[in-house]
Homo-oligomer: A and B are copies of this chain.
């Protein structure tokens, strides 16, 4: 009856508020500013908008900028039309290729905001910045803004298959409707491009790293071209994934050997053909010789030879295409600790990659765990351009059912010091190219978008899309500042409530760590869909099992990656080896990543490891409960639909947190043979119950599709 009443209440709001606040508008809501005087605060200094670029010319991107100004300011200020002048003005080196300046000027006694940029894309970013300020009710009469992106190529990677399935996608299915393209153009494509441009993202890889060669056939290239034309008007270049065996599969060749001239000729012709369809084609992402994907190793060639094959024609004829060659590689036959393998494969190749190749490295050396030590490959190949691959979609952090703001995780990654060139050699500075003086730089995030109305499934997961985009623009902005910006743009909450939302976001990733893989534990999730606990997962290749990573036994738990074990720690700088290699100085968060630790080891807290572990799991559950309490306190500050959708997911999260806690503690207790410490709730079921949980048809996992 309670649910029935709730359904009834929701029913009332379903059409009333649903259209208004279903999350579709993301952070570009442009709601009318209440109060004439408030509106006048913006009208007065913005009697017109001046876009100043070196050419001063109209273009598709400038038209987009005009459209966005009209869309945003008309609604917010209640004006019918905002005058926009496009003028020519000499380039300003300080603004780089895609930066912008916002300034107040007076022209013919008319107050105007001038957006200066060296390119149309830069001007467009300036427009979005200005609109953001108005949305956040920040003053615009004393503007002195200069903003320049630190990284050149700022990309989303979509793991979308051609049949509409999104690998590790939890927000519905693919945004790309291939069977409708090129003739039927969903308005959503434009709104997608607007969202990217609003963050300064300038590229999108529309197909999965587990690539399908069909995308390179004429029928599909025509479809990609239709998308690319829409995206181009928003400053976004289109990229594809290249299946290494494409010359065989769609080219009719009998080899894909990168040193075979017919293979080289095939790729040259194919890349020419792609450019006929997509003149500003951005390049390829390649997953090769990884998890069963074909690659140059199949022909005894290394990654550099493999990548350079594609890089040459992408740089020919004045093109500026790039190859993003993934470092996510590990071999079934190689029994080296999996987290060491990428380093081992790539370090010897330093200096051998073509200029337009970037090695694309996941933040951690394993696979997007809730927390990992960073990949030791960062900074280890100074002559090779490196870029970081972040995962916006929550493969290991609760899909779109759990709240995990990843800004904090990415801050941790991007501010992480590698000591590659001494102190301050952060991953951010490696990615932006400044550390090793590389001209070309890139960053990418695996998208969490899908066909769901609100794009990301979980209403608050929009914050992750937002945070990735903002950090790709400037990796020093900071997770908290970005969270606050997002919350202000996304909700109409008052200052206190906004702070509450920000706090909720800021703690959420650590909460997921606590209830799923605390103290440096990793890869103990259920197999296949990766949702929920699976410390018992065994069978098949060792590095796809859980005990390979947690190594629990009667003595203790944790992966031994110091000298007594795999010695993976040797791949890090001496400073880090010293800190992380010793039980005394390793931080709790990485303890079991690097060390096999006795159950009765005394932690910094004074508790023994087993008790600390159990209490961390309990803490995770408690924190989710506190999140629910906090959210309940926001009930009057957030529109009904998004509040309710989030509330329902938090309830699922609390249940899931308990499942993680109970399943993992019962499992590890078999080894520790110790009682749960005081303060930890007794498990609801026995271990077998948790082992038997069967999540058939959980989305994002190719298995059942």
Q: Which residues of A contact B (CB under 8 A)?
A: 3-4, 7-8, 10-16, 18-20, 22, 24-25, 28, 30, 60, 63-64, 67, 70-71, 162-165, 172-173, 178-180, 183-185, 187, 190-191, 194, 214, 219, 226, 229-230, 233, 401, 451, 453, 641, 645, 648-649, 651-652, 655, 694-699, 704-705
Contacts and interface: CB of A to CB of B under 8 A. Distances in A.
B14 A191 contact: yes
Contacts of A24: 19
Nearest to A641: B187
17 contacts: A7-B229, A8-B63, A8-B64, A12-B70, A12-B71, A13-B187, A15-B71, A19-B19, A163-B705, A172-B173, A173-B451, A179-B697, A179-B699, A180-B652, A183-B651, A184-B401, A184-B652
A701 to B, nearest CB: 9
Contacts of A7: 185, 190, 229-230, 233
Nearest to A529: B179
Given A451-B451, A695-B179, A11 B184 contact: no
Q: How many copies does the complex hold?
A: 2
Contact of A705 (B3, B14, B187, B705): B705
Contacts of A8: 60, 63-64, 67, 233
Contact of A697 (B18, B67, B178): B178
A697 B180 contact: no
A185 B652 CA distance: 12
Contacts of A191: 14-15, 18
Contact of A180 (B63, B70, B401): B401
Contacts of A22: 187
A569 B648 CA distance: 58
A157 to B, nearest CB: 20
Contacts of A187: 10, 13-14, 18, 22, 641
B179 A648 contact: no
A230 B8 CA distance: 8
Given A162-B697, A172-B451, A60 B183 contact: no
A702 to B, nearest CB: 10
Contacts of A12: 67, 70-71
Nearest to A3: B229
A141 to B, nearest CB: 27
Nearest to A178: B697
Nearest to A648: B184
Contacts of A60: 4, 8
Nearest to A399: B179
Contacts of A649: 184
A653 to B, nearest CB: 10
A59 to B, nearest CB: 10
A459 to B, nearest CB: 11
A584 to B, nearest CB: 44
- 10 nearest A-B residue pairs (beta carbon): A184-B648, A14-B187, A163-B697, A162-B697, A11-B190, A14-B190, A8-B63, A183-B652, A12-B67, A11-B67
A70 to B, nearest CB: 7
B705 A165 contact: yes
Contacts of A165: 705
A277 to B, nearest CB: 13
B15 A696 contact: no
Nearest to A16: B71
Nearest to A699: B179
Nearest to A74: B16
A213 to B, nearest CB: 11
Nearest to A693: B219
A222 B553 CA distance: 38
A163 B704 contact: yes
